[in-house]
Structure 1
Amino acid sequence: MKILLIYSSRTGNTKKVAEAIYEVLPEGSVICPVDDNPSYEDYDMIIIGFWVDKGLPDVKTLKYMENIEGKKIGIFGTSGAYNDSERGKKTLERTRQLLEPRNEVIAEFICQGKIDERLLERYKNRGPDHSNPMTEEKRKRHEEAKKHPNANDLNRAQEVFRKII
């Protein structure tokens, strides 16, 4: 089985998960950033990694996904949200809907990852009157996100993709 693993990473989180998944893929698999715009035609399966932006894959990944058709797909993402959060589940669901029915999504994974410092700076300045204000719960989640992806996250990602090979 020929596998292409592409990823987009803003802070290094998704790249870290991509490299961990790549370690368990069969020999001959290819890994590269989405910026390289690799052709997917000659591959049996495509694994797509992305950082979450407003509940969806980042713009570069969305653009790459637009033309994929007739492939088995694995998806994974990194987000500031907790691993088991409703937001994470919805992100995977929305991503799956973007790919199906033109493709078959056979694996999915999402984990928490540190948030871009520039975004955190913008959050800090939001007052209680803002439509999406900074709260104590959000501060705690942002602090927890700095610890991810950790070894447990990487092992879980490897296990998800090991099962489909």
Structure 2
Amino acid sequence: MKSIVIYSSLTGNTKEVAEAITSVLPVGTSCVSMKELPTDLSSYDLVFAGFWVDKGTANKEARDVLGTLHNPHIALFATAGVPPQMAHAKESLVNAANCLPDGVDPVGTFICQGKVDPKVIEMMYKMFPKGHSHGQSADRDARHKQAAVHPNEEDFKAAQEFAKDIIIRLS
């Protein structure tokens, strides 16, 4: 099965997860940024497509690429500033899967927490007043502090297990 790992990464979080996934795939599996995609992805049986969560879905660059994927098997992975068990994280994966062409469903999904760019945090706190869900609060500050240590080794191991599971299920 010919596989490729593609990703869109703003702060490096998703790139690191993409590299962890690639590390457990057959030697020679390509891992490339969506900015540097091969012109033709149709020869790949399995595409691991990664993105960073933006406004509850895949970021724009990734949404544009996801909409073009007609490969037999597509596995989605993502990083978000929130813990993976939060509804926002789960909904983001569903929303990203909806960016795939009609009739194309992912063979699996994975999301882990990632650090948030301090410039984004500052922008959000300026944009939204205290008390707003995106405004500064003790809870939000604590969440950013927690996110700052992700992705970590546990996250990378979980991503690797996700990739191994996909390969086993498709074999």
TM-score, reference length from structure 2: 0.90
- TM-superposed deviation, 1:4: 1.1
Cα separation, 2, equivalents of 1:162 and 1:4: 14
Q: What SS does the aligned partner of 1:68 have?
A: coil
Cα separation, 2, equivalents of 1:161 and 1:64: 20
Identity %: 36
- 1:81-120 mapped onto 2 (5 Å cutoff): 81-99=82-100, 101-120=102-121
Look up the equivalent residue of 1:152 and give its one-letter code.
E
Q: Identify if the C-alpha distance between structure 1 residues 136 and 58 changes in structure 2 by more than 3 Å, giving closer, same or farther.
A: same
Look up the equivalent residue of 1:13 and give its one-letter code.
N
TM-score, reference length from structure 1: 0.93
* Aligned partner (choices 131, 154, 157) of residue 156 of structure 2: 154
- TM-superposed deviation, 1:131: 6.9
Deviation string, structure 1 residues 41-80 (Cα, Å, up to 9, x no partner): 1100110010111011111111111111242001100010
Per the alignment, residue 56 of structure 2 pairs with 55
- TM-superposed deviation, 1:97: 2.2
- TM-superposed deviation, 1:154: 0.5
Q: Identify if the C-alpha distance between structure 1 residues 136 and 34 changes in structure 2 by more than 3 Å, giving closer, same or farther.
A: same
Per the alignment, residue 45 of structure 1 pairs with 46
The answer to whether the Cα contact below 8 Å between 2:42 and 2:71 also exists between their aligned partners in 1 is no
Per the alignment, residue 21 of structure 1 pairs with 21
- TM-superposed deviation, 1:103: 2.2
Task: Count the aligned residue pairs.
Answer: 165
Runs of 4+ that moved beyond 4 A: none
Q: Identify if the C-alpha distance between structure 1 residues 12 and 46 changes in structure 2 by more than 3 Å, giving closer, same or farther.
A: same
Look up the equivalent residue of 1:23 and give its one-letter code.
S
| Structure 1: unaligned runs, 5 residues or longer | none
Per the alignment, residue 79 of structure 2 pairs with 78
Per the alignment, residue 163 of structure 1 pairs with 165
Cα separation, 1, equivalents of 2:101 and 2:108: 13
Cα separation, 2, equivalents of 1:78 and 1:36: 20
Per the alignment, residue 144 of structure 2 pairs with 142
Per the alignment, residue 128 of structure 1 pairs with 130
Deviation string, structure 1 residues 2-51 (Cα, Å, up to 9, x no partner): 00110011111001100000000112321100001322111001100101
| Structure 2: unaligned runs, 5 residues or longer | none
Q: What SS does the aligned partner of 1:162 have?
A: helix
Q: CA RMSD in A?
A: 1.6
Cα separation, 2, equivalents of 1:130 and 1:104: 35
Cα separation, 2, equivalents of 1:136 and 1:78: 22
